[in-house]
Structure 1
């Protein structure tokens, strides 16, 4: 059995994850921000970018010079007040933990439901995998190109918070209608 345990440690098959969160948007949303799929921590806390090490909410707060929202309701409020819709590219996939590199069998979300309900002018994807999956699976269907932004994940340690805030400035400008 010991060799089986070792074999399991190298098994990167992952698990089927079905997206458990509703999108955040309203009829005033101007930008749509898409991650890949909620991480295990995000699924646990039932909200987007739920890992406390993820810098997404610090970036969003800095863009509008606000305090970092500490609750799911405050995070939802920040998005809606600033015309930001939030969801993910994938409706389901097989993934090992939070490793986007391990994604297999991706099935996209139907972003058309947001695009038809809100005056979205820009779509932004957080991270390279979300951007590539959007371009491959969603853009050909909806016809709306996306702008790729750097990942705010702790795995993207090479970017400092100030660099991320600067990289996300186009999102703020689009959300503010500039």
Structure 2
């Protein structure tokens, strides 16, 4: 078992003035922090799911991942600015401090917020209630390898509302 650590969010948000859907996780995993990008664990299926949704090749580098997100008007960040966490276990999160999402929503015409996983959804509703009331909130399942009950094809189907939000 990993000892709890106090983590300060190390990654800048990915967005531009065209971003329309904000995708939020909880906090980058140790592997994502190590590689310096969102959903960086090789077994995390986020990038495979996005690639399948948009009929694109799976991005391999951080630059390709950022380009895929931005090309499809997707912003990436996390609900939390800091927390105490054991490894990558969302269930262990304590002493959470939220990110200031206005950094993105004041610049980009965000129409929907997509949360990846139950904990991200709960934290978004708890810390960003006013934003959750103003924007469409789509709670989606985690693409983490810890969510072993869902196959990648199931996740692609589950993530269709993200694509639909961009088409609306």
Fold shared by both chains (TM-score > 0.5): yes
- In structure 2, relative to structure 1, the CA distance for the partners of 1:60 and 1:148 (3 Å cut) is same
* Residue 50 (str. 1) matches residue 40 (str. 2): yes
Unaligned 5+ residue runs, structure 2?
none
Correspondence for 2:69: 79
Change (3 A) 1:133 1:66: same
Distance 2:101 2:63 in 1: 23
Normalised to the residue count of structure 2, the TM-score between the two structures is 0.95
- Deviation string, structure 1 residues 52-108 (Cα, Å, up to 9, x no partner): 000000000000011100000000000000000000000000000000000000000
Within 2, Cα distance between the matches of 1:76 and 1:165? 19
Q: What number of residue pairs does the alignment pair up? A: 167
- How far is 1:113 from its partner? 1.3
Q: How does 1:42-121 map to 2 (within 5 A)?
A: 42-121=32-111
1:41 and 2:15 are equivalent in the alignment:
no
1:134 aligns with 2:100: no
Task: State how far apart, in whole Å, the 1-side matches of 2:41 and 2:23 are.
Answer: 17
Say which one has the larger Rg: 1
Distance 1:49 1:28 in 2: 22
**Do the aligned residues in 2 keep the contact of 1:32 with 1:85 (CA within 8 Å)?**
yes
Identify the residue that residue 154 of structure 1 maps to in structure 2.
145
Gapped runs of 5+ residues in structure 1? 1-8
RMSD (CA atoms) = 1.3
Tell me, yes or no, if the aligned pair for 1:112 and 1:142 is still in contact at 8 Å: no
Quick check: 1:18 aligned with 2:8?
Answer: yes
Q: State which drifts further: 113-122 or 133-142.
A: 133-142
4+ residue stretches of structure 1 with deviation over 3 A? 140-145
